[in-house]
Structure 1
């Protein structure tokens, strides 16, 4: 199906371009979202008549998006989730969760603007793309942790595996210290009972 784009669509074309797409994609996405019109005489005439207005509106929304992008790009948002000791989440972090976290920090982000390369199912730092405008996108980081303290440690560069290894090492150290203390106490007790006998007097005296 041939359609004329009313705005830039990633990997498809710019505003005003006529492109061929699959009928289902056209009907369910491009036409339904108001991103394109079917190519026919009436719609082409309509586009030409409204083109200047569309371009002006697009430029205005793009400027607003760029202002927000300057503040939002590179931001890190903490998302607290339950997870196993190995770091696997009980569930996953969704675009809605990311949008909510950004909104709580004062950014106006809709879940439909968030693009994930894949489901987030592990603790750690994960990147997500926020599409503020067809021509303006930014990258934000999700710090997924079980607590704010854990999030701070992850932000410093430590992974959940590093934290687990440190906790295990600390536990082993405490156990070793306990055994050392017990051993030292035993030696002290044994030392009192086994004090060396005084040297025998010499027959020469």
Structure 2
């Protein structure tokens, strides 16, 4: 199906471009969201008559998205989730979760604007993109942790999973050293020699 684009669509074209797309993509995405019109002669005439207004609306929407993006760019948001010892989350973090934590701070973001290439399934600091407008994309960081204390440690740059494993290893080595250098076994040996 041939359509004329009413706004910039990534990997497809800019305002006013007449492009060939699959019928389902046009019917299910472009047309219902008013991103395009069917490229009939009457629709092309209507588009050319309203092109100036469409471009002005797009410029206003882009300016509003840029103002909102200036507040969001580089910000870090904290999500507290349950996770296992190895840092694997019980579930995953979705676009809805990210949008909700950003909305709590007062910024306007919809879950459809959160770009997740793959689900987030581990604790740590993850960078995400927010597509606020077809021409405006900003980057934010999501700090996913098991507790507020752990989130603070991650914000300082500490890898809490490896540090937990390192601490467990040091504790085990200390216990083993204690056993061999005079721990529980040593007391029994000393008691038998004193008799």
Shift of 1:164: 1.9
Kindly indicate whether residue 8 of structure 2 is the aligned counterpart of residue 8 of structure 1.
yes
Total equivalences in the alignment? 190
Kindly indicate whether residue 84 of structure 2 is the aligned counterpart of residue 88 of structure 1.
no
Shift of 1:182: 4.7
Pick which of 156-165 and 51-60 moved more: 156-165
TM-score, normalization by structure 1: 0.84
Give the alignment's Cα RMSD to 1 decimal: 2.3
Query: How far apart, CA to CA, are the structure 2 residues paired with 1:143 and 1:174?
Result: 33
Can you list the C-alpha shifts for 1:53-74, whole angstroms capped at 9, x where unaligned?
1111111111111111112111
Can you list the C-alpha shifts for 1:66-117, whole angstroms capped at 9, x where unaligned?
1111121111111111111111111110000000011112211110111101
Query: How far apart, CA to CA, are the structure 2 residues paired with 1:174 and 1:114?
Result: 47
Shift of 1:16: 0.7
Match of 1:199 in 2: none
Secondary structure, counterpart of 1:56 in structure 2: helix
1:35-46 maps to which residues of 2 (within 5 A)? 35-46=35-46
Match of 1:70 in 2: 70
Match of 1:144 in 2: 144
Match of 1:166 in 2: 166
Kindly indicate whether residue 85 of structure 2 is the aligned counterpart of residue 117 of structure 1.
no
Match of 1:23 in 2: 23
Query: How far apart, CA to CA, are the structure 1 residues paired with 2:37 and 2:93?
Result: 35
Pick which of 66-75 and 158-167 moved more: 158-167
Match of 1:79 in 2: 79
Structure 2: 5+ residue stretches without partners: none
Secondary structure, counterpart of 1:153 in structure 2: helix
Query: How far apart, CA to CA, are the structure 1 residues paired with 2:5 and 2:48?
Result: 12
Structure 1: 5+ residue stretches without partners: 194-205
Q: Which has the larger radius of gyration?
A: 1
Pick which of 138-147 and 167-176 moved more: 167-176
TM-score, normalization by structure 2: 0.88
Secondary structure, counterpart of 1:3 in structure 2: strand
Query: How far apart, CA to CA, are the structure 2 residues paired with 1:61 and 1:181?
Result: 74
